[in-house]
Amino acid sequence: MSNDQRRAFLRQAGLGLGGAALGGFIPGIGHVSAATAAELLDPLAPKAPQFPAKIKSVIWLHQNGAPSTLDLYDFKPDLQKLAGQPVPASFLKGIKTSTQGGVGKLYASNQRTWKQHGDSGAWFSNLLPNLATQADKLTFIKSSTTVGATHDISILKLNTGDLNPGRPSLGAWINYALGSANPDLPSYVVLYNGDREPSAGSVNWSSGFLPAVYQGTAFRPGDSPILYLERPELRNAVQQRTSLDLLKRLNLIGADRYPHDTELKARLQSYELADRMQAAAPAAVDISKESAATKELYGLNDKTSQSYGEVLLRARRLVEHGVRFVQVVSGFPEGVETDRQSWDAHSELDANHAVMARMVDKPIAGLLHDLKERGLLDSTLVVWTSEFGRTSWGESGTGRDHNPWGYTQWMAGGGLKAGFTYGETDEVGLQVADKDKAVDTYDLHATVLHLMGLDHLKTTFIHNGRSERPTVVYGKVIKEILA
Amino acid sequence: MSQGARKTLVALALLAAVFGGVRAADTELDMDLMQTIEDTNKSLASNIATQNAPGSTSDAKELQALFGKVEAHFVAKGDAPDAVDLSRKSRELSEAIVKSVASKDFGTASDSATTLSRTCRTCHTFYKKS
Amino acid sequence: MPTVADFGRAGQKPTNPELLDHLASRFVANGWSVKKLHREILLSATYRQASDERAEVVKVDPENKLLAVYPRKRLEAEVIRDSLLYASGLLVDKVGGPSVFPPVLKVGDVGKSQDFNGNRAWTVSENKEDWHRRSIYVFTRRSFPYPITQNFDPANPNNPHHKRDVTTTPLQALTLFNSEVVFDWSQALAGRVINEAGPSEDAQLSRVYEILFARDPSKAERAALKQFLADQQIAIRQRVASGKFEVAVPQGLKDTKNYDPVRSAAFVDLVHTVANSNSFAYRF
């Protein structure tokens, strides 16, 4: 609902802070505009989905840097056979390649072995032994496609649906459409491991043209996820409360001159949320009291997987506390020698993926197992996603270049056909085999929204006189993978 | 280069940059035409979403005409049968949207519009230069 | 120009190409002087407009693409920190020298991870002067960005930037409101105000607004502030009565004759709150 629509609705419904409040008078503050009064009602109040939802929370596991799914899930015996040869022209039809130095010869690592797992017979390489045990929980999308030659713009498209900044991320749309299930925590949280913030930047959890209050909040990795959570020692709780009340009054007086400015209101909201977080957040992110068995399950005892495991354990706890969208951006293990600090293996893929796969393998397997054990898997959606895949031809001899024409992603959780694979790539794993089964990022978004009880076509926001939706002008729910 | 000539050159370069790149040779499709199609398509999606019948109809009719031009271009080119098919399909989808809107079936119109957008991308995979 | 990183085909068209041309040709004519271009823009009627919303403008041009009002801006990360330091009189305006490591926490230790040579991510500078240098001198460690500025969307040192993000998060609220490092600055600012305005409450309120916002508080604001001082003193007295004598008082007070710690502590809270308000964080 736009601000105008909401105001009209409120006026008609006679809601507000005492009948006089709508565009009227608030005791202690004086006269305020209608917009201010409307926004005093909570923009993050929970809203019902458009139809019954299958899931309540999403854990979006963005594998930053683009892993080679040809070395993880997409077993291509023909690629092994043809390795070392130039790419046959038939496979290159219809794509524009831009590899530096030209398209190399097909590449397959000789360190890769493949096996089928579970009742579903899903293929996993030797790089993911733990995740392989969860094979029957996964719904593979082996015909993923997207656009883009560079990480930043493709990551932006993956998260916000456009190659240019300015649109809200998927988490922001969900936050807008469904509101918060827990008023004491941000309902859209961004987590990452490694020692630096995700390189693609905060535009990937931005609220875009939606009101600023719907953006994601990033929590730091490590021991103090939320710095400055405690108030200063010399200020007691009563002082804190009265100061915040004064802040609210001052800000409202100021905001009256800018009734359409949602950012000013969002800032006011952020102080209130910060205050509530002081009480609620420590419990939510504290993993020290988890059992030793759980810590082992998430790979916390292995240096390579420890930081990612901690992040996923936090993610589970946040979901338990009602956070709607947890965006996890993979980093890299601390203290481990890696040439590239992400999955982006343009060279030396074996060395890179040995580390990166080990970083995520146990934690993700642990997360899936743990969610199932706690009865949360049916109401949660876990998504393995990346900005693109990697090419079948080698780069610099031992790496792979970017491949937006056919790669693998997977989802797991409520409302899906578990142990199922949708779509496939061609014999060498380069392009989607059947173009009609191609799953673009918009289709992924449409499907996630559908599972949350939202029709992507009807989740709209009027911006600049135009109706906008998460999937821009595209998007198709992949009905074949729904249970 | 003289001051005057340089000034003119700089001004021209600035103008060119400002107006979105030098026009390519005339065997290429006009980029402004494509931009107009994209803008109209976005407007169409919005109008269908808000069930604005006159707006949707006008957008869809304009797309029909624009895709007609695209189709003619590729027919004249002669060596691009896929593009001819795709632009014809786009033209037909636009026409279908006009009909859906006329019978107040915005659901079907919405689906057709989404299919239309996908058609744009399919064609671009083969026929967009950048 | 909505896409300042791309003036070409992939970008959007400028809203006023004639104006862009005009400025560009004058820029060249003025010998490519950036200073003169700045002058021209800053002295223009457009730039000097107020930022108040105008209902008729919002209707027609909700994104203010045609600059009918001044586009209010959130202060950039470094500006927020520097302005607070400057207002409180703590800023050390020394130019040049090696980068500095101001404290992240008043009490406690962060930045413990080490590199291969055993150097910590963050070792706080011993020289206290270094704590109050301008933000541009703060060490930029990619693995450990300085949180007080980091939370306010500084430029990511890994990438070139054409524009700063502006996010609004509870982490920012926590940083400005709860960080003891920032609270210290408010204590110093409170001290400065009392020193300069004297004992009169009205004069003090005016002086705070004069320092922070270059204006007087409005009637509504003044009323709110006075009410707060009265209420806050009651709250603090209750705290003191229950045995907790430590309160946060203004720093650097020159005249301690009429010193009332309870009232002073309330004033510190007031100053801190005003520094957290939107009026400070935004340039209107």
- Which residues, at least 6 apart from B73, have a Cβ–Cβ distance to it below 8 Å? B29
Q: Is the pLDDT of residue A27 over 70?
A: no
Helix (H, G, I), strand (E, B) or coil at A190: strand
> Is C269 close to A229, i.e. CB distance below 8 A?
no
**Strand-pair category, A325-329 with A188-192:** parallel
The residue among C171, C234, C249 with the most chain A CBs within 10 A of its CB, best to mutate, is C171
Check: CB of residue C58 under 8 Å from CB of residue C65.
Answer: no
Residue written as tokens 């992507």? A456
> Is B11 close to C17, i.e. CB distance below 8 A?
no
Dihedral, CA of residue A457, residue B119, residue A208 and residue A155, to nearest 10: 120
B114 token code pair: 């989404």
The pLDDT value given to residue A378: 97
Mean pLDDT, rounded, of chain A:
87
Residue C177's identity, in one-letter code, is F
Longest dimension (CA), chain A: 79
> Is A457 close to B121, i.e. CB distance below 8 A?
no
* A24 against A185, higher pLDDT: A185
Q: What angle do CA A311, A313, A316 make, to 5 degrees?
A: 110
Q: What is the mean pLDDT of residues C70-90?
A: 91
A9 token code pair: 């609705």
Q: Is the pLDDT of residue A31 over 70?
A: no
Residue written as tokens 């926490």? C105
Task: Give the distance from residue B3's alpha carbon to the nearest chain A alpha carbon, in angstroms.
Answer: 38
Query: Which residues on A lie below 8 Å from B46 (Cβ)?
Result: 466-468
Point out the residue among C8, C20, C24 whose CB comes nearest to the CB of B21: C8
Show which subunits contact A, needing at least 3 CB pairs below 8 angstroms: B, C
Q: What is the mean pLDDT of residues A397-412?
A: 95
> Is C8 close to B20, i.e. CB distance below 8 A?
yes
Check: CB of residue C181 under 8 Å from CB of residue C148.
Answer: yes
Task: Give the distance from residue B96's alpha carbon to the nearest chain A alpha carbon, in angstroms.
Answer: 17
> Is C8 close to B31, i.e. CB distance below 8 A?
no
Q: Is the pLDDT of residue A267 over 90?
A: no
Residue written as tokens 């949320």? A273
Please tell me the number of Cα atoms within 13 Å of C121 on its side-chain side.
Answer: 17
C81 token code pair: 């920190």
Q: How far apart are CA A186 and CA A184, in angstroms?
A: 7
The pLDDT value given to residue C26: 92
> Is A267 close to C168, i.e. CB distance below 8 A?
yes
The pLDDT value given to residue C188: 95
The residue among A457, A459, A461, A477 with the most chain B CBs within 10 A of its CB, best to mutate, is A457
* C238 against C215, higher pLDDT: C215
Q: Is the pLDDT of residue B19 over 80?
A: no
Check: CB of residue A239 under 8 Å from CB of residue C269.
Answer: yes
Neighbouring C-beta atoms of residue A102, cutoff 10 Å: 9
Neighbouring C-beta atoms of residue C251, cutoff 10 Å: 18
Q: Is C252 on the interface with B (CB under 8 A)?
A: no
> Is A460 close to B49, i.e. CB distance below 8 A?
yes
Q: What is the mean pLDDT of residues A319-341?
A: 87
Phi, psi of A292 (to 5 degrees): -60, -35
What are the pLDDT digits (tens) for C33-54? Answer: 999 999 988 888 888 888 877 8
Q: Rounded to 5, what percent of chain C is helix, strand, coil?
A: 45, 5, 50
Phi, psi of A293 (to 5 degrees): -60, -40
* A461 against A194, higher pLDDT: A461
Task: Give the distance from residue B127's alpha carbon to the nearest chain A alpha carbon, in angstroms.
Answer: 9
Confidence of residue B10 (pLDDT cuts 50, 70, 90): low
What are the pLDDT digits (tens) for A380-395? Answer: 999 999 999 999 999 9
Q: What is the mean pLDDT of residues A87-93?
A: 91
Q: What angle do CA C184, C188, C191 make, to 5 degrees?
A: 140
Task: Give the distance from residue C207's alpha carbon to the nearest chain B alpha carbon, in angstroms.
Answer: 48
- Which residues, at least 6 apart from A269, have a Cβ–Cβ distance to it below 8 Å? A43, A44, A213
Task: Give the distance from residue B125's alpha carbon to the nearest chain A alpha carbon, in angstroms.
Answer: 7
Confidence of residue A341 (pLDDT cuts 50, 70, 90): confident
Confidence of residue A36 (pLDDT cuts 50, 70, 90): very low
Query: Which residues on A lie below 8 Å from C110 (Cβ)?
Result: 224, 227
Check: CB of residue C123 under 8 Å from CB of residue C111.
Answer: yes
Of A37, A475, A198, nearest to C142 (Cα)?
A198
For C183-199, give one letter per residue: b (16+ CB within 10 A) or e: bbbbbbbbbbbbeebee
Confidence of residue A352 (pLDDT cuts 50, 70, 90): very high
* A347 against C153, higher pLDDT: A347
- Least confident window among A34-48, A124-138, C127-141: A34-48
The pLDDT value given to residue A212: 75
Locate the DSSP E strands across chain B: none
The pLDDT value given to residue A18: 33
Neighbouring C-beta atoms of residue C95, cutoff 10 Å: 7
Residue written as tokens 């994209």? B38
Report how many Cβ contacts below 8 Å link chain A to chain B: 41
A53 token code pair: 């939802």
- Which residues, at least 6 apart from A15, have a Cβ–Cβ distance to it below 8 Å? A22, A41
Q: How far apart are CA C141 and CA A393, in angstroms?
A: 37
Q: What is the mean pLDDT of residues A464-469?
A: 84
**Strand-pair category, A461-463 with A466-468:** antiparallel
A89 token code pair: 């022209």
> Is C8 close to B15, i.e. CB distance below 8 A?
no
Check: CB of residue C147 under 8 Å from CB of residue C102.
Answer: no
Confidence of residue A135 (pLDDT cuts 50, 70, 90): very high
Task: Give the distance from residue B47's alpha carbon to the nearest chain A alpha carbon, in angstroms.
Answer: 7
Check: CB of residue A256 under 8 Å from CB of residue A33.
Answer: yes
The residue among B18, B29, B31, B39 with the most chain C CBs within 10 A of its CB, best to mutate, is B18
Confidence of residue A472 (pLDDT cuts 50, 70, 90): very high
Of C127, C152, C129, C149, nearest to C139 (Cα)?
C149
A219 token code pair: 């929590």
Task: Give the distance from residue C6's alpha carbon to the nearest chain B alpha carbon, in angstroms.
Answer: 9
Q: Is the pLDDT of residue A81 over 90?
A: yes
What is the separation, in whole angstroms, between the first and last Cα of chain C? 21
Consecutive H or E run containing A462: strand A461-463
Report how many Cβ contacts below 8 Å link chain A to chain C: 176
Confidence of residue B4 (pLDDT cuts 50, 70, 90): low
> Is B117 close to A474, i.e. CB distance below 8 A?
yes
Check: CB of residue A427 under 8 Å from CB of residue A76.
Answer: yes
The pLDDT value given to residue B32: 87
- Which residues, at least 6 apart from C245, have a Cβ–Cβ distance to it below 8 Å? none
The pLDDT value given to residue A93: 86
Task: Give the distance from residue A91's alpha carbon to the nearest chain B alpha carbon, in angstroms.
Answer: 14
Q: Is the pLDDT of residue A39 over 80?
A: no
Query: Which residues on A lie below 8 Å from C270 (Cβ)?
Result: 246
> Is A246 close to C179, i.e. CB distance below 8 A?
no
The pLDDT value given to residue B22: 42
The pLDDT value given to residue C89: 93
Query: Which residues on C lie below 8 Å from B14 (Cβ)?
Result: 20-21, 24
The residue among C3, C74, C81, C168 with the most chain A CBs within 10 A of its CB, best to mutate, is C168
The pLDDT value given to residue C182: 93
Phi, psi of A90 (to 5 degrees): -60, -30
Residue A254's identity, in one-letter code, is G
C218 token code pair: 């409005």
Burial of A129 (0-12, 13-18, 19+ CB in 10 A): middle
Check: CB of residue A377 under 8 Å from CB of residue A414.
Answer: yes
Dihedral, CA of residue A457, residue A462, residue A466 and residue A472, to nearest 10: -40
* A245 against C58, higher pLDDT: A245
- Which residues, at least 6 apart from A384, have a Cβ–Cβ distance to it below 8 Å? A61, A63, A364, A409, A410, A411
Point out the residue among C9, C24, C25 whose CB comes nearest to the CB of B31: C9
What are the pLDDT digits (tens) for A409-426? Answer: 999 999 999 999 999 999
What are the pLDDT digits (tens) for C169-216? Answer: 888 899 999 999 999 999 999 999 999 998 899 999 999 999 999 999
Q: What is the mean pLDDT of residues A21-50?
A: 53
The residue among A473, A474, A479 with the most chain B CBs within 10 A of its CB, best to mutate, is A473
Closest residue, chain C, to A259 (C-alpha) = C53
Task: Give the distance from residue B17's alpha carbon to the nearest chain C alpha carbon, in angstroms.
Answer: 6
Q: Rounded to 5, what percent of chain B is helix, strand, coil?
A: 80, 0, 20
The pLDDT value given to residue A28: 34
Phi, psi of A103 (to 5 degrees): -70, 125
- Which residues, at least 6 apart from C172, have a Cβ–Cβ distance to it below 8 Å? A267, A270, C151, C152
Q: Is the pLDDT of residue A303 over 90?
A: yes
> Is B11 close to C21, i.e. CB distance below 8 A?
yes
Please tell me what DSSP assigns to residue C144.
Answer: B
> Is C143 close to A196, i.e. CB distance below 8 A?
yes
> Is B19 close to C17, i.e. CB distance below 8 A?
yes
Q: What is the mean pLDDT of residues A285-312?
A: 95
Confidence of residue A357 (pLDDT cuts 50, 70, 90): very high
- Give CA separation, A230 vs A236, A279, C107, C149, C174, in Å: 11, 9, 12, 18, 8
Phi, psi of C216 (to 5 degrees): -90, 155
> Is C11 close to B20, i.e. CB distance below 8 A?
yes
Q: Is the pLDDT of residue C281 over 50?
A: yes
- Least confident window among A15-29, A73-87, A255-269, B1-15: A15-29
Phi, psi of A393 (to 5 degrees): -90, 155
Interface of C with B in 16-75 (CB under 8 A): 17, 20-21, 24-25, 28
Q: Is the pLDDT of residue A16 over 80?
A: no
Residue B94's identity, in one-letter code, is S
Q: Is the pLDDT of residue B18 over 70?
A: no
Check: CB of residue C281 under 8 Å from CB of residue C199.
Answer: no
- Report the percent of chain A where pLDDT is more than 70: 89
Residue written as tokens 């993926």? A353
Beta partners for residue A394, in sequence order: A400
Q: What is the mean pLDDT of residues C252-273?
A: 88
The pLDDT value given to residue C48: 83
Q: How far apart are CA A163 and CA A389, in angstroms?
A: 17
What are the pLDDT digits (tens) for A99-130? Answer: 666 788 999 999 999 999 999 999 999 999 99
A441 token code pair: 């990022």
Report how many Cβ contacts below 8 Å link chain B to chain C: 30
Locate the DSSP E strands across A145-276: 188-192, 217-218
The residue among C9, C12, C16 with the most chain B CBs within 10 A of its CB, best to mutate, is C9
Of B40, B44, B18, B22, nearest to B31 (Cα)?
B22
Is the CA virtual torsion A392, A397, A398, A401 positive or negative?
Answer: negative
Confidence of residue C124 (pLDDT cuts 50, 70, 90): very high
Query: Which residues on B lie below 8 Å from C15 (Cβ)?
Result: none
The pLDDT value given to residue B21: 43
Q: How far apart are CA B30 and CA B24, in angstroms?
A: 8
DSSP character string of C212-238 = HHSSPPPHHHHHHHHHHHHHHHHHHHH
Phi-psi region of A388 (alpha: psi -120 to 50; beta: other; left: phi over 0): beta
